[in-house]
Amino acid sequence: MATRKLSELAKTIRSKNAGTDRITFDIIFREKENYDLVRKSGALTRETVKELFGLTDSDIADFVEFDPAFAIKFTINRKKPSGSAGDSDVFGSQQYPPLLDIEIPV
């Protein structure tokens, strides 16, 4: 089966702080067709996020498919508050790379 990487289909894949205790992720598509392809493929779900980031159900605060913006958004609870001792990404902006290589069946 042919696949394409999520990074080839999405316009934007990013992460950022959502307060001191959470990080939010945005996967935004230019075209409805690519958004629908990813959404319907089942390749990007709460389960996928849990596996990619080593999380539990309670670590994921939100997971939303937002049709008006052709976006998939999710928010996770941080292991340590932003800026605390041992925090390696104060702004939460370097957490998205595991999403880039998700294979989407086409």
Cβ contacts of 18 within 8 Å, gap of 6 or more = 24, 75, 92
Has residue 20 got a pLDDT over 90? yes
Q: What is the mean pLDDT of residues 85-90?
A: 90
Report residue 56 as tokens. Answer: 């539990």
* Predicted TM-score (pTM) of this structure: 0.94
Contact 15, 101 (CB under 8 A): no
Query: What domains can you pick out in the chain, each with its CATH number?
Result: 3-81 (3.30.70)
* Higher-scoring residue by pLDDT: 88, 43: 43
Give the per-residue pLDDT at 88: 87
Give the per-residue pLDDT at 57: 95
Residue 9: CB atoms within 10 A of its CB come to 21
Structure confidence by residue, pLDDT tens digits, 25-40: 999 999 999 999 999 9
Structure confidence by residue, pLDDT tens digits, 49-69: 999 999 999 999 999 999 999
Q: How far are the Cα atoms of 27, 40, 96 from residue 31, in angstroms, in the given order?
A: 12, 14, 21
Has residue 11 got a pLDDT over 90? yes
